[in-house]
C-alpha cells in the first residue's frame, strides 16, 4: 500500500504534475497585473470584510482590499524573491564549492570552516541577526537568506567535486591541456548538476517558507504591499470572525511548498540522489 | 628524448599536531633514458611505485628530488607556457577506461578535447580529424555520436588511445592500459598500439605488471621493486635467468597453458 502511494507520489507522473503546477503558479504570478480583478492595495472601507461574491471571488480584507488580487500579487513577491534567492545562492554555492573542492588545501579548509560557521547557527536566528543589523525590508531579507542558503550548495558541491577529482578523466583532461576553469566548467559542473537540481528544488520550498515567515514577523515586505506571510499576519486580528483571511494565504504557501518538496523528492528518487 | 635523472619521491603524510608522521618513500634514485621510437616496459608488483613514476613523467606530480628532461627541458622548471607546449607531446592512456572518459560527453567530444585546446581548426576540419582518429583506432565514424556507456571496455580503450594520439605526441605513457581488458581485447589493443607506434613514430612507456604483455610490445624492460630500479635490460631472455626475487615473482605470475607448467622458484611454496 505504502509502496503504491510512494510510486504515485515519487514517479514520473509526480514530476509532470508538479512541474505543471509550478508553471501555473509562476504564470499566475507573472500575469498578476492582467488577471487580478482588482488593485491589490486600493483601500475601500465600505467593502471591508465582505464574503465571497461575484465581484470579490475570495472576499475582501479588513481594509476592503480584494483578497484574490492580493494573493496573486503576493505570489510575485513570494515566488519571485524565492527564485532570486535560489539562483543567487546556487551560483555562489556552486562557485565556492567547486573552488574549494578543486583547489583543496588551505583554500578548501578556509571556505569549509566558513560554511560550518554559518551552518552552526539556526537559519532563522542568523537571518534575524542580519535583519536586526540592517533594519527590516525585503532587500535585507533577501541578502540574509542568500547568506545562509549558499552554504548547503557549497558543501554538497565541494564533496562531489572532491570525489570527481579522483576520476581519471579529470587527469586526462589536464593532460589534454585543458585549463582549470575549463575542467570545472566542462567536466565537473555537468557531472554534479543532478544532485544540485534536487537540492535546489527542495531549497526553493524552504526559501518560500522563510520569506513568508519573515514577512509574518513584519521583517520582510512592508505594508501596504501584499505578500502571503504578511497577509497571514494581517489576518491574525480577525481570526475569530474571519479566519479565511489567514487560511487562504496559508493554503497557498502550503500548496506551493508541498509541490516543490514532492518535485524534489521525486527528482531525487529518479536520479538516485542521496539527500543530506 | 626522455631522460629521467636520479628521481626520488616521497608522499608526505598528513602530520598530526602532536606527533610527526615521517613521509612514505615511494621512489629511490631512479635514472633511465628513453630514446625516440622505443617502447620501454616498466614492470613491477603493485605498490612498487610504477604509477607514481608514470605520473611524475607526465608532469602531474613534482618529484621530491631529481629531474625529468624531456627533449632537454626540465619539465618542472620551465615556465607555464613552455610546459603547456611540452604537455602536448606527453600523453597518457589509463588502466580504467571507464573512469578515464567523462560519462556525459560523446566519443567525438572526448577525442576532440585536446584538439580544442591546442589546434585552431575550423569545425569542418575538426570533424574530419576526429573521424580520421576514430578510424585509425578501428572504430567507425558513426561511433563519434555515442556516449561512453554504449561502448564496451575494449572500444572505450580505443577512444582513450584516439584521444592520446590526437595531438601527434612523441611519448605516450601507457599506465596499465591493457590490464583491465580480457585476453582477446588485450591482444587487439596491443597490436593496435604496435601499429600506431610505427605509423606515428611514437615512444611508449609501458607501465604494467604483466610480463607477457610487456614482451609482446616492448623493446626494453626495467623492473622496479619498492621504489628501486632492480633490473634493466634490452634482452628479455636474460630476465628469465635473473635471480632478483621481484623479477622472479613477476615471472611466476605468468599463467601457463596448464597449471602444472607453472614456473616455480625455489624459495616459493
At A75-132, the pLDDT tens digits run 888 888 889 999 999 999 988 998 899 888 889 999 999 999 988 888 788 888 888 8
Query: Which of B91, B96, B102 minimises the CB distance to A175?
Result: B91
* pLDDT surpassing 60 at residue B208: yes
Report the Cα–Cα distance between both ends of chain A, in Å, rounded: 27
pTM confidence score: 0.77
Q: What span, in angstroms and rounded, lies between the C-alpha atoms of A104 and B17? A: 20
Q: State the maximum Cα–Cα separation within chain A, in Å, rounded to a whole number.
A: 76
Structural domain includes residue A88: yes
Q: From B100, which residue of chain A is nearest by alpha-carbon distance?
A: A169
Contacts of B163 in chain A (CB under 8 A): 172, 176
Structural domain includes residue A191: yes
Q: What span, in angstroms and rounded, lies between the C-alpha atoms of B11 and A18? A: 52
State mean pLDDT over B88-92.
Answer: 90
Q: Check if A185 contacts B (Cβ < 8 Å).
A: no
Q: Check if B100 contacts A (Cβ < 8 Å).
A: yes
Beta strands at B39-43 and B203-208: parallel, antiparallel or unpaired? parallel
Q: What span, in angstroms and rounded, lies between the C-alpha atoms of A7 and A211? A: 32
Q: What are the start-end ranges of the E strands in B35-122?
A: 39-43, 65-70, 73-74, 90-93
- Tracing cell 561512453 back to the chain, one arrives at B148
Say what the pLDDT of residue B269 is: 46
| Structural domains in chain A (count) | 1
With the CA atoms of B207, B208, B211 and B216 taken in that order, what torsion angle do they form, in degrees rounded to the nearest 10? Answer: -60
Enumerate the H helices of chain A as residue ranges.
2-10, 12-30, 32-35, 67-103, 105-120, 123-134, 138-165, 168-175, 180-183, 189-216, 228-235, 244-271
Structural domain includes residue A246: yes
Count of alpha carbons within 13 Å of B180, Cβ hemisphere only? 18
Q: Check if B157 contacts A (Cβ < 8 Å).
A: no
Beta strands at B73-74 and B65-70: parallel, antiparallel or unpaired? antiparallel
Chain B stretch 59-88, residues whose beta carbon is closer than 8 A to a beta carbon of chain A: 60, 84, 87-88
Given an 8 Å threshold on Cβ–Cβ distance, is A187 in contact with B160?
no
Closest among B150, B123, B122, B151 to B137, alpha carbons compared: B151
Closest among A248, A245, A259, A243 to A208, alpha carbons compared: A259
pLDDT band of residue B134 (cuts 50, 70, 90) is very high
Q: Check if B170 contacts A (Cβ < 8 Å).
A: no
| Domain span including residue A202 | 25-32+64-271
CA distances from A215 to A26, A73, A85, A236, B58 (A): 20, 15, 15, 13, 58
Contacts of A160 in chain B (CB under 8 A): none
Q: Check if A171 contacts B (Cβ < 8 Å).
A: yes
Q: Which residues pair with A4 in a beta bridge?
A: none
Q: From A179, which residue of chain B is nearest by alpha-carbon distance?
A: B117
Counted across chains A and B, CB pairs separated by less than 8 A come out at: 48
Reported ipTM: 0.84
Given an 8 Å threshold on Cβ–Cβ distance, is B99 in contact with A167?
yes
Q: Which residues pair with B172 in a beta bridge?
A: B91, B204
Q: Check if A180 contacts B (Cβ < 8 Å).
A: no
Say what the pLDDT of residue B115 is: 92
pLDDT band of residue A276 (cuts 50, 70, 90) is very low
Contacts of A185 in chain B (CB under 8 A): none
Q: Check if B118 contacts A (Cβ < 8 Å).
A: yes
Q: What span, in angstroms and rounded, lies between the C-alpha atoms of A141 and B194? A: 66
Question: What cell numbers appear for B171 in the block?
Answer: 611519448
Structural domain includes residue A239: yes
Given an 8 Å threshold on Cβ–Cβ distance, is B104 in contact with A173?
no
Q: Which of B84, B113, B157 to mutate to test the interface with A (most CBs of A within 10 A)?
A: B113
CA distances from B178 to A241, A243, B147, B181 (A): 80, 74, 21, 6
What digits encode the pLDDT tens for the residues A56-66?
A: 777 787 777 88
Closest among B192, B193, B195, B196 to B206, alpha carbons compared: B193
Structural domain includes residue A53: no
Give the domains, in start order, of chain B with CATH numbers: 1-89+169-240 (3.40.50.300), 103-166 (no CATH)
Q: What span, in angstroms and rounded, lies between the C-alpha atoms of A132 and A219? A: 9
Q: Which CATH number do you get for residue A151?
A: 1.10.3720.10
Structural domain includes residue A253: yes
Closest among A154, A141, A120 to A78, alpha carbons compared: A141
Cβ atoms of residues B81 and B89 within 8 Å: no
Q: Check if A190 contacts B (Cβ < 8 Å).
A: yes
The H or E element that residue B3 is part of is strand B2-11
Q: How many residues does chain A have?
A: 276
What digits encode the pLDDT tens for the residues B152-180?
A: 888 999 999 999 999 999 999 998 888 88
What does the radius of gyration of chain A's CA atoms come to, in whole angstroms? 22
Say what the pLDDT of residue A274 is: 59
Say what the pLDDT of residue B13 is: 75
Rounded to the nearest angstrom, the minimum Cα separation between B100 and chain A is 4
Q: Check if A225 contacts B (Cβ < 8 Å).
A: no
State mean pLDDT over A166-171.
Answer: 88
Cβ atoms of residues B149 and B101 within 8 Å: no
CA distances from A60 to A49, A51, A52 (A): 5, 7, 8
Structural domain includes residue A43: no
> Which strands form B2-11's sheet, in the order they lie side by side?
B24-34, B2-11, B65-70, B73-74
Structural domain includes residue A47: no
Amino acid at each position: 500500500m505504502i509502496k503504491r502511494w510512494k510510486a504515485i507520489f515519487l514517479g514520473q507522473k509526480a514530476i509532470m504534475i508538479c512541474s505543471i503546477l509550478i508553471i501555473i503558479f509562476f504564470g499566475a504570478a507573472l500575469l498578476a497585473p492582467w488577471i487580478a480583478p482588482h488593485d491589490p492595495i486600493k483601500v475601500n472601507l465600505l467593502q471591508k470584510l465582505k464574503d465571497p461574491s461575484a465581484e470579490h471571488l475570495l472576499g475582501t480584507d479588513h481594509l476592503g482590499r480584494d483578497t484574490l488580487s492580493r494573493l496573486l500579487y503576493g505570489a510575485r513577491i513570494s515566488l519571485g524573491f524565492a527564485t532570486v534567492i535560489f539562483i543567487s545562492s546556487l551560483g555562489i554555492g556552486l562557485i565556492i564549492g567547486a573552488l574549494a573542492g578543486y583547489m583543496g588545501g588551505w583554500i578548501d579548509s578556509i571556505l569549509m570552516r566558513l560554511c560550518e560557521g554559518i551552518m552552526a547557527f539556526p537559519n532563522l536566528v542568523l537571518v534575524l541577526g542580519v535583519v536586526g543589523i540592517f533594519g527590516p525590508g525585503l532587500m535585507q531579507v533577501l541578502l540574509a537568506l542568500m547568506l545562509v542558503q549558499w552554504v548547503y550548495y557549497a558543501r554538497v558541491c565541494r564533496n562531489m567535486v572532491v570525489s570527481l577529482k579522483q576520476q581519471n578523466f579529470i587527469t586526462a583532461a589536464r593532460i589534454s591541456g585543458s585549463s582549470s576553469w575549463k575542467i570545472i566548467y566542462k567536466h565537473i559542473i555537468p557531472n554534479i548538476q543532478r544532485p544540485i537540481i534536487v537540492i535546489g528544488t527542495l531549497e526553493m520550498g524552504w526559501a518560500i517558507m522563510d520569506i513568508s515567515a519573515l514577512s509574518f514577523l513584519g521583517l520582510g515586505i512592508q505594508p501596504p504591499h501584499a505578500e502571503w506571510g504578511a497577509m497571514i499576519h494581517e489576518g491574525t486580528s480577525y481570526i475569530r470572525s474571519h479566519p479565511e483571511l489567514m487560511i487562504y494565504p496559508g493554503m497557498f504557501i502550503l500548496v506551493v511548498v508541498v509541490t516543490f518538496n514532492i518535485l524534489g523528492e521525486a527528482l531525487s528518487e529518479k536520479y538516485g540522489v542521496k539527500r543530506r | 628524448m626522455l631522460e629521467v635523472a636520479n628521481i626520488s619521491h616521497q608522499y608526505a603524510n598528513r602530520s598530526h599536531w602532536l606527533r610527526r608522521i615521517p613521509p612514505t618513500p615511494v621512489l629511490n634514485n631512479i635514472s633511465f633514458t628513453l630514446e625516440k621510437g622505443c617502447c620501454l616496459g616498466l614492470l613491477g608488483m603493485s605498490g612498487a611505485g610504477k604509477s607514481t613514476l608514470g605520473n611524475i613523467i607526465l608532469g602531474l606530480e613534482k618529484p621530491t628530488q631529481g629531474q625529468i628532461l624531456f627533449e632537454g627541458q626540465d619539465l618542472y622548471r620551465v615556465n607555464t607556457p613552455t610546459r603547456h607546449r611540452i604537455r602536448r607531446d606527453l600523453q597518457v592512456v589509463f588502466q580504467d577506461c571507464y573512469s578515464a572518459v567523462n560519462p556525459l560527453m560523446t566519443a567525438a567530444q572526448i577525442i576532440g578535447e585536446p584538439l580544442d585546446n591546442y589546434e585552431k581548426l575550423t569545425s569542418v576540419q575538426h570533424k574530419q580529424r576526429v573521424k580520421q582518429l576514430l578510424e585509425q583506432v578501428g572504430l567507425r565514424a558513426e561511433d563519434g555520436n555515442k556516449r561512453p556507456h554504449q561502448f564496451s571496455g575494449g572500444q572505450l580503450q580505443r577512444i582513450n588511445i584516439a584521444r592520446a594520439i590526437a595531438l601527434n605526441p612523441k611519448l605516450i605513457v601507457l599506465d596499465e592500459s591493457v590490464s583491465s581488458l580480457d585476453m582477446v581485447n588485450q591482444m587487439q589493443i596491443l597490436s593496435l598500439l604496435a601499429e600506431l607506434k610505427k605509423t606515428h613514430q611514437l615512444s611508449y612507456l609501458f607501465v604494467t605488471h604483466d610480463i607477457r604483455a610487456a614482451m609482446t610490445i616492448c623493446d626494453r624492460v626495467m623492473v622496479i621493486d619498492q621504489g628501486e630500479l632492480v633490473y634493466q635490460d634490452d634482452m628479455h631472455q636474460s630476465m628469465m635467468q635473473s635471480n632478483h626475487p621481484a623479477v622472479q615473482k613477476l615471472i611466476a605470475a605468468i599463467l601457463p597453458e596448464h597449471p602444472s607448467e607453472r614456473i616455480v622458484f625455489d624459495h616459493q611454496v
